[in-house]
Amino acid sequence: MKILIVGGGGREHALAWKFRHDDPTCEIIAAPGNPGIAQIGRCVGIDVTNFPALITLARTERVDFTVVGPEGPLEAGIVDRFREQGLAIFGPTRAAARLETSKRFAKELMQAAGVPTASARTFTSAGAARAEARQLGAPVVIKASGIAAGKGVIVALTLAEAEQAIDSMLVDNAFGDAGAEVLVEEFMQGEELSLFALTDGTHVLPFIAAQDHKRIGEGDTGPNTGGMGAYAPVALATREVMRGSVQGVFVPILRAMRDAGCPFTGLLYAGLMLTKDGPKVVEFNCRFGDPETQALLPLMASNLIEPMRAIAQRQTLAPFAPFTWYEGASVTTVVAAAGYPGAVAGGDAIALPDDTEDVTVFHAGTTRHADGTLVTSGGRVVAVTALAPTIAEAQQRSAAGATAVRFDGSQFRHDIGWRELARA
């Protein structure tokens, strides 16, 4: 088996790690990859949007299938290009990826399909958006319609914060084209769940739920980030919640995508809010989430390669049994660079603890110099995942591993999973 992974972050390292565990003989190629992936596979310095070079690589290496990690190449149509060349690839087409890349498209589709979600209106005028925010009142949610590296959603607790967010996107162009259109959305009260599912466009293979920690500060304070950690399983994700989410969210949205002429295949990620009225969709992503992937895959007992290959080769998931999972809990703590989620300076030397049976370090924003020195190269540098019989023990092991990660200005949260511990 030979698999090409497009991307070079923590999510891609976790996928490579899982593939190697599923099949120790599997040959992994990553473009561009990272130093963590290089320990278990071969990295090739090709940018994720250099489609001609990626197609040539896939064809020359005779890979069984390609897996796309980040949203950027999906938005740019990598799946369409590979399929035109007769190459097997895991992920949605450009049209189907609009579930993530256009929040307006996703919201309108949900409303038409009867998928529960918050009410929202879309604006390109700052004045009209501010008027809508005043009409809804605070708290209110302001979203960039396009993809903004996980930072384009502002939960404004006051109208002043809402107007500042609107002006930042529509006047100051903080997110470029991604923020040229904004959604002003009603605030939903409750806890969030991250729910992944593999799909061939019709059939659904759900994962267990995880919970992400988006804010930079402990106790979920401060600005949103791409994710400072995640844990699984989540006690709130009862059998009834999971069944309701599959039947009330995944099934109708996949039907609506087929009816719209752009069936969705790949990994569909639903960010859910557990409200007093039941689960409601906060957003969809069209690929594996980061850092939830780093928390979930070490808990997965089932083989992941085979259903992903079936989807990539445009086969049905009907023969596959539901996924099985190991007992216990997983906690992932992200170690970020100083200044994150704002501007960060790279180039700081990193010292990492060794992986153990229960603790794994997934690389994200790292690079290796020619002399072998490992240095920082991004905002989220590594993710430390720990397994243990309980959330409390997994949290302690993960935080201890994060403490052992050394570079100038490192920052991380010690409280990943705190809501679960409060419930316990």
Provide the CATH number for the domain around residue 130.
3.30.1490.20
Per the CB < 8 A criterion, the answer to whether 268 and 286 are in contact is yes
The stretch 33-49 carries a mean pLDDT of 98
What is the enclosing helix (H) or strand (E) of 114? none
Per the CB < 8 A criterion, the answer to whether 314 and 266 are in contact is no
Out of 180, 202, 223, a domain closes at 180
**Which tokens is 268 given?**
């569909």
Three-state secondary structure call for residue 155: strand
Whether 117 is in a domain gets the answer no
Residue 149, pLDDT > 90, answer no
Three-state secondary structure call for residue 355: coil
Per the CB < 8 A criterion, the answer to whether 36 and 13 are in contact is yes
414 and 335 share a domain?
yes
- H helix runs in 39-181, sequence order: 51-61, 71-75, 78-84, 98-101, 103-113, 126-136, 159-170
What's 39's DSSP letter? T
58 and 148 share a domain?
no
Residue 224 confidence (pLDDT): 85
Whether 396 is in a domain gets the answer yes
Q: How many domains does the chain have?
A: 4
Per the CB < 8 A criterion, the answer to whether 335 and 406 are in contact is no
Alpha carbon distance 56, 60 (integer Å): 6
Q: Which range marks the domain in which residue 46 is found?
A: 2-93
* End-to-end Cα distance, the chain: 43
The 10s digit of each residue's pLDDT in 97-124 is 999 999 899 999 999 999 999 998 999 9
Whether 268 is in a domain gets the answer yes
Which residues fall within 8 angstroms of residue 347, CB to CB, at 6 or more apart? 375, 376, 377
Alpha carbon distance 148, 169 (integer Å): 11
Residue 424 confidence (pLDDT): 81
Residue 152 confidence (pLDDT): 82
**What is the share, in percent, of the chain residues with pLDDT greater than 70?**
99
Whether 337 is in a domain gets the answer yes
Alpha carbon distance 33, 41 (integer Å): 9
pTM: 0.93
The CATH number assigned to the domain holding 202 equals 3.30.470.20
Alpha carbon distance 419, 12 (integer Å): 27
Out of 283, 312, 341, a domain closes at 312
Residue 145 confidence (pLDDT): 85
Residue 150 confidence (pLDDT): 63
300 and 333 share a domain?
no
Note every long-range contact of 94-98, with CB atoms under 8 Å and residues 24 or more positions apart, other chains counting: 95/261, 95/262, 96/257, 96/262, 96/263, 96/264, 96/265, 96/266, 96/286, 97/71, 97/286, 98/262
Residue 154 confidence (pLDDT): 87
The 10s digit of each residue's pLDDT in 331-358 is 999 999 999 999 999 999 999 999 999 9
Residue 308, pLDDT > 70, answer yes
Per the CB < 8 A criterion, the answer to whether 266 and 201 are in contact is no
Alpha carbon distance 377, 348 (integer Å): 8
The stretch 372-388 carries a mean pLDDT of 97
Which residues fall within 8 angstroms of residue 25, CB to CB, at 6 or more apart? 1
The CATH number assigned to the domain holding 74 equals 3.40.50.20
302 and 338 share a domain?
no
Total length of the chain: 424
Residue 210 confidence (pLDDT): 98
- Average pLDDT for the chain: 95
Band (pLDDT 50/70/90 cuts) for residue 4 is very high
CA atoms lying within 13 Å on the CB side of residue 31: 24
407 and 365 share a domain?
yes
The angle at the Cα of 24, spanning 22 to 27, to the nearest 5 degrees, equals 100
308 and 196 share a domain?
yes
Band (pLDDT 50/70/90 cuts) for residue 178 is confident
Alpha carbon distance 126, 131 (integer Å): 9
293 and 338 share a domain?
no
Residue 177, pLDDT > 90, answer no
202 and 295 share a domain?
yes
221 and 308 share a domain?
yes
Band (pLDDT 50/70/90 cuts) for residue 95 is very high
Residue 382 confidence (pLDDT): 98
Residue 213, pLDDT > 70, answer yes
Among the listed residues 237, 240, 253, the one whose alpha carbon sits nearest the alpha carbon of residue 193: 237
Residue 146 confidence (pLDDT): 83
Whether 384 is in a domain gets the answer yes
376 and 419 share a domain?
yes
338 and 408 share a domain?
yes
Residue 223 confidence (pLDDT): 87
CA atoms lying within 13 Å on the CB side of residue 317: 23
Whether 118 is in a domain gets the answer no
Residue 404 confidence (pLDDT): 97
**Which tokens is 421 given?**
């511990």
303 and 337 share a domain?
no
Whether 149 is in a domain gets the answer yes
Tell the burial category of 330 from Cβ atoms under 10 Å away from its Cβ (0-12, 13-18, 19+): buried
Per the CB < 8 A criterion, the answer to whether 250 and 199 are in contact is yes
Whether 107 is in a domain gets the answer no
Residue 153 confidence (pLDDT): 85
